[in-house]
Structure 1
Amino acid sequence: MGFAAKSYCSLLCMLVLLFTICYSQDNYVSSKATYSGSPGCFERPSGACGYGEFGRKVNNANVAGVSMLYKNGSGCGACYHVRCKIPKICSYDGVTVVVTDFGEGDGTDFILSDRAYAKLAVPNAALELFPYAAVDIEYQRISCRYPGYNLKIKVHEKSNFPGYLAVIVLYQAGVYDITAIEVWQADDLEWRCMRRSFGTVWDLPSPPSGPLTLKVQVSGNGCTKWVQMTNVVPSNWKAGVVYDTAIQLS
């Protein structure tokens, strides 16, 4: 009987643990959302994150502007699962969006692209959803996934070789916020901090010559780490060009 009682207690503990794990994975936050161009919403047409065309096309154009979650730019690139709550119109599947801009509406946390907003609805019900200026939603931060894509460094269009360098990190996978970027200064054998210019654009006047090694600080999942990218930007870098790092966050 003692062995059976221990086995029963072990099984009960396992079931409680399984329930706890499953419950924690469904940790959604209640809020409101609207869509781009809807009455009462405000967006920055140039894109506050600095992504440019990437910010309109990434994730099959399922993107969003956020206000509170923008976090002075460190929220750029984050992925969220969003679903609305109107019976018979909203789909439980919802939509996964990537934050690419700052935007605020009347009590809303998300301004979704038209494409993403339509995906909140069940099939053939999107036209019924658009008349709502804002809808009740629930959202959850999730891991970004870019199958087939490495982390990439784009030299921002406003860079001016060789005296001024600005960069943007693209395709950041996982649940991470970029909180710092440094450049290796070989002459002085030290790392130089880049400045957050705006959004997720980081810049540096008088950058080092030669191929550039960058170090990116990322925070997420309760930890902070540095990811080094050796000689990722060539010595003859050009504004607007995207360079592959051959690595990805995990």
Structure 2
Amino acid sequence: MALSSPPINTVQQHHPTAIAAIAAMASSSLLLACAVAAAMVSAVSCGPPKVPPGPNITATYDEKWLEAKATWYGAAHGAGPKDNGGACGYKDVDKAPFLGMNSCGSDPIFKDGKGCGSCFEVKCSKPDACSDKPVMIHITDMNDEPIAAYHFDLSGLAFGAMAKEGKDEELRKCGIIDMQFRRAIVIDMQFRGVKCKYPADTKITFHIEKASNPNYLALLVKYVAGDGDVVGVDLKEKGSEEWKPLNESWGAVWRIDTPKPLKGPFSIRITTEGGEKIVADDAIPDDLKADSVYKSNQMASSCLLLACVVAAAMVSVVSCGPPKVPPGPNITAAYGEEWMEARGTWYGKPKGAGPDDNGGACGYKDVDKAPFLGMTSCGNDPIFKDGKGCGSCFEVKCSKPEACSDKPVIVYITDMNTEPIAAYHFDLSGHAFGAMAKEGKDEELRKAGIIDMQFRRVRCKYPGETKITFHVEKGCNPNYFAVLVKYVGGDGDVVKVELKEKGSEEWKPLTESWGAIWRLDTPKPIKGPYSIRVTTESDQKLVANDVIPENWKPDTLYKSEIQVD
């Protein structure tokens, strides 16, 4: 459930998979992630509970308790993600004022980032280890692999805080594990919206994100009391009367792209979901620095948070605690005949390409169309490799259950899964999962939930007309250039990208941003046309001369004339 850098909107991501799941996303690089752990029903079958989300939780407050489901992720006494971040973009959520009392929220709670920072009282009365006493938690991360209409995936610390004294370990043991009897235990939890309250010395704070420059300013907003979440952010330059609206980027990060350089100091106006407007005058100084924190003198005091309705889906079976599955060694650009063991699940629509938007954590779009044609998959850490596995190709097959054909099909890595149920875990699109079945048996195979499968890495081969393609990302300008690289044959994945301006001999290295996106930040504006040099994992270098024209535009595709033989 967590992503800490990419618009993962990018982001992140979890998906409705073909299993009953405990979802967890841990943040790394930019991005967000997907978590699966499953419970098999009786001898027959399984399949994901298709749990529709409840209505969005809004800024209304009352005494009524609503029903939800709760799970936990991360270290047992930890704050959730390994890096103490999450899909809202906050850092150090293990420290004051959050103090590790954090949670992922499913769609109607996280609300594409607009729920970031909102606060809830949560409690549980069953099983016996529950105290039935409310504790306060903050939404700092996302979970869109819900097991109920409202699903809180809490930090280990917050989950344990709902227990009776000395019973926190006992409570945390109630989750999903492989064991010898089939009993599903998922904690029933109630929640209600409460106003966020912070210590008096905690003020609304702004973090200027990395890569910000006079033409591109991105800031993270945190520690907003009252409603807790933010639905609008505006910026005003010194001496101006104009409030410029920022666009929501991802999580609690808002950004503005402008061809005319901005001049500080800047005042920031934020609007909470309850309609309260708070102005932090000259909060960002004239000499602002990227990756810096600026504390305002403002504290919100109004209302917001969440409350709503519920629906639950329990699977018949199995039991306890998110499985702590160590990843296998990274899969490298080595090709041979040997098949390796993995586990397979699926997500999205039964015959779809995976994510609802046909994208994924690599940043590719339209993965339902040629050349991917929906034959796509999430990979866990040693397959996705923080984005460096994006575009790599694998043969996958299964021999059990009976619906499996044992015939290999090729899939492309286009998405990520950071809560694996095995050392190697492919969370395939519904279409790709079904392609491993015997003719006419695809629906039967999809109902099998988790399956054992085999895989091996293969070289990517694209049709002759498919060339290496570059997508210049939104928000790019002469000082900030970000490009997505796709359709690379051979290894498929890219480990290095460089840019050369026309007339120059210097290759400028780009930094990996998130997924398959690479970026360059420079105080001196760069001038097109640009040549791009990509290096694949086996150190093959490919140069696309003048592929990005002088008059390039953001959010535009540029097709090269090169491809791996």
Q: TM-score range by the shorter chain?
A: 0.7 to 0.9
What SS is found at the alignment partner of 1:150? coil
Bigger Cα Rg: 2
Whole-Å Cα distance in 2 between the matches of residues 143 and 188 of structure 1? 34
Residue 176 (structure 1) shift: 4.2
More helix by share: 1
* TM-score (normalizing by structure 1): 0.79
Q: Is the 8 A contact 1:161 1:237 kept in 2?
A: no
Whole-Å Cα distance in 2 between the matches of residues 173 and 189 of structure 1? 27
1:93 corresponds to which residue? 407
Whole-Å Cα distance in 2 between the matches of residues 143 and 214 of structure 1? 22
Amino acid at match of 1:34: T
Give the 5 Å matches for 1:158-237: 158-185=474-501, 189-206=505-522, 208-220=526-538, 224-237=539-552
Whole-Å Cα distance in 1 between the matches of residues 556 and 427 of structure 2? 29
CA displacement, residues 116-147 of structure 1 (integer Å, 9 cap, x when unaligned): 01111101111221222210000011111111
Q: Is the 8 A contact 1:173 1:249 kept in 2?
A: yes
1:71 has 2:385 as partner: yes
CA displacement, residues 137-179 of structure 1 (integer Å, 9 cap, x when unaligned): 00011111111211111112x2323332111111111124311
Q: Is the 8 A contact 2:367 2:373 kept in 1?
A: no
Q: What is the alpha-carbon root mean square deviation over aligned residues?
A: 2.3
Higher relative contact order (CA 8 A, sep 6+): 1
1:82 corresponds to which residue? 396
Residue 25 (structure 1) shift: 4.5
* TM-score (normalizing by structure 2): 0.37
Residue 49 (structure 1) shift: 0.9
Amino acid at match of 2:454: E
Amino acid at match of 2:540: K
CA displacement, residues 195-243 of structure 1 (integer Å, 9 cap, x when unaligned): 10011100112452020011111123xxx13211111100111122111
Amino acid at match of 1:59: F
Whole-Å Cα distance in 1 between the matches of residues 367 and 432 of structure 2? 13
Amino acid at match of 1:210: G
Q: Is the 8 A contact 1:44 1:101 kept in 2?
A: no
What SS is found at the alignment partner of 1:118? helix
Q: Is the 8 A contact 2:497 2:533 kept in 1?
A: yes
Q: Is the 8 A contact 1:213 1:228 kept in 2?
A: yes
Aligned match for 2:457, one of 141, 153, 166: 141
1:120 corresponds to which residue? 436
Whole-Å Cα distance in 2 between the matches of residues 117 and 126 of structure 1? 8
Amino acid at match of 1:208: I
Question: Taking every aligned residue pair, what percent have the same amino acid on both sides?
Answer: 30
Whole-Å Cα distance in 2 between the matches of residues 55 and 88 of structure 1? 29
1:54 corresponds to which residue? 366
Alignment gaps of 5+ in structure 2: 1-334, 350-354
Q: Is the 8 A contact 2:484 2:516 kept in 1?
A: yes
2:342 corresponds to which residue? 31
Whole-Å Cα distance in 2 between the matches of residues 47 and 87 of structure 1? 28
* Equivalences, count: 218
Whole-Å Cα distance in 1 between the matches of residues 421 and 393 of structure 2? 22
What SS is found at the alignment partner of 1:69? helix
CA displacement, residues 86-120 of structure 1 (integer Å, 9 cap, x when unaligned): 15311122321100010244225100000001111
Whole-Å Cα distance in 1 between the matches of residues 497 and 389 of structure 2? 15
Aligned match for 2:553, one of 238, 244, 248: 238
What SS is found at the alignment partner of 2:413? strand
Q: Is the 8 A contact 2:501 2:528 kept in 1?
A: no
Alignment gaps of 5+ in structure 1: 1-23
Q: Is the 8 A contact 2:401 2:445 kept in 1?
A: no
Higher mean displacement: 68-77 or 100-109:
100-109
Q: Is the 8 A contact 1:89 1:125 kept in 2?
A: yes
Whole-Å Cα distance in 2 between the matches of residues 44 and 118 of structure 1? 17
Whole-Å Cα distance in 2 between the matches of residues 214 and 109 of structure 1? 33
Amino acid at match of 2:341: S
Structure 1 pair 181/205, CA: closer, same or farther in 2 (3 Å)?
A: same
Aligned match for 1:111, one of 423, 427, 441: 427
